[in-house]
Amino acid sequence: MRECIKEDLSLYRDTRRILGGCLRAALANDMLGFIGRADVDIMQEAKDIARFIECSIPPEARGSYEKVRAWEDGGNRAGKRRY
């Protein structure tokens, strides 16, 4: 997996950085969204991306768009965005 992808996912985990596109879809376990947004290079790394998410991203930060949004919001129940 390219270092820039690993860095983006690590920043999401460590700083709750908001990601977009195919990585956000992968975090949300949205396979069709991931495939629809991924370029050829990302598709070739899909298995490594999935493995990194499974092994390195906490369960409360992945699995659905609701969990991803809650992680990005820092668990803010009011749903206020950081930006």
Taking 50 as the threshold, does the pLDDT of residue 78 lie above it?
Answer: no
CA distance 61 to 23: 13
CA distance 25 to 11: 16
- CB within 8 A of 46, min separation 6: which ones? 26, 34, 38
CA distance 23 to 33: 9
Which two tokens mark 24?
A: 């956000």
Phi-psi region of 58 (alpha: psi -120 to 50; beta: other; left: phi over 0): beta
pTM for this one?
Answer: 0.86
User: What mean pLDDT comes out for the span 62-77?
Assistant: 88
